[in-house]
Amino acid sequence: MNASSQAWPFVIVQTKILLAPDFLLGPRLSGRLLDAANPGPLSTEKARARTIELSGRQKATIYFRAVRIAGKDVGRDTEWIRDVGSRPMVMIEGVVLRGGHGEIDEGLLDLARTQVLPAVRDYVDHPATRPEVRASCPVGKQFVSEAEEPLIERPPVTVPTGAALRQEAADSRHGQSLRLTWRIAVGLGALGAAMGIIIWKILRAVIG
């Protein structure tokens, strides 16, 4: 998964989209969302993932579950919200992620509820044949695909200034002077040894 992945909430009640990301609000793409998020006749609260085609050959992954609408979630005293036939109303709540994704944390659906439940409550309070669809906002970055490089603490670098800088310069000049003196001494020692050899050879020649 990409580290920058974000999840846009959506919710569907009675085959009506109440909340969805703005890039799925067109008639064609909203229809694809309705088709893909259909839990089927044997719906359970188990979350599932499906892929839908966006425009320009792009893909999106939807992660959703079908759950009954609890009265406490929409400000009602009843246990469950029921339709005109007294059947418990079901909402399909989910998130949309751009691209393809494998396993998705179900905690995303809980994060999405801050946007899902207000939309559902408005619909329960004011049911409409064609309710106004809200555009959802991403719930934030949720994934890290690569291990983040650990931060390595490095010792602070001290930059000498003022008196410390002058002292460092003086120490440097002193070191250079010592090295030059040593080189001269070594040179003189080598010269003295060569002169000694020459003088010894001259003496041998004279005595012989």
34-46 pLDDT per residue, tens: 999 988 776 667 8
Between 53 and 193, whose confidence is greater?
A: 53
pLDDT value for 105: 77
Which tokens hold the place of 189?
């020692």
192 and 123 both lie in a single domain: no
Task: Examine the domain organization and report whether 109 and 188 are in the same domain.
Answer: no
* CA gap 37, 54 in Å, rounded: 15
Q: How far apart are CA 29 and CA 27, in angstroms?
A: 6
pLDDT at residue 188 tops 80: no
User: What percentage of residues in the chain have a pLDDT greater than 70?
Assistant: 62
The answer on pLDDT for 109 being more than 50 is: yes
Do 15 and 111 share a domain, yes or no?
A: yes
Number of domains in the chain: 2
Backbone angles phi, psi at 93, to 5 degrees: -105, 140
Which residue segment(s) compose the domain that 170 sits in? 161-208
pTM here is 0.63
Q: What is the pLDDT of residue 197?
A: 65
Question: For the ranges 19-28, 63-72, 168-177, which has the lowest average pLDDT?
Answer: 168-177
Kindly state whether residue 27 falls inside one of the protein's structural domains: yes
Separation between Cα atoms, residue 95 and residue 114, nearest integer Å: 12
Highest mean pLDDT among 16-20, 25-29, 162-166: 16-20
**171 and 78 part of one domain:** no
- Give the chain's length: 208
Task: Quote the mean pLDDT of the chain.
Answer: 77
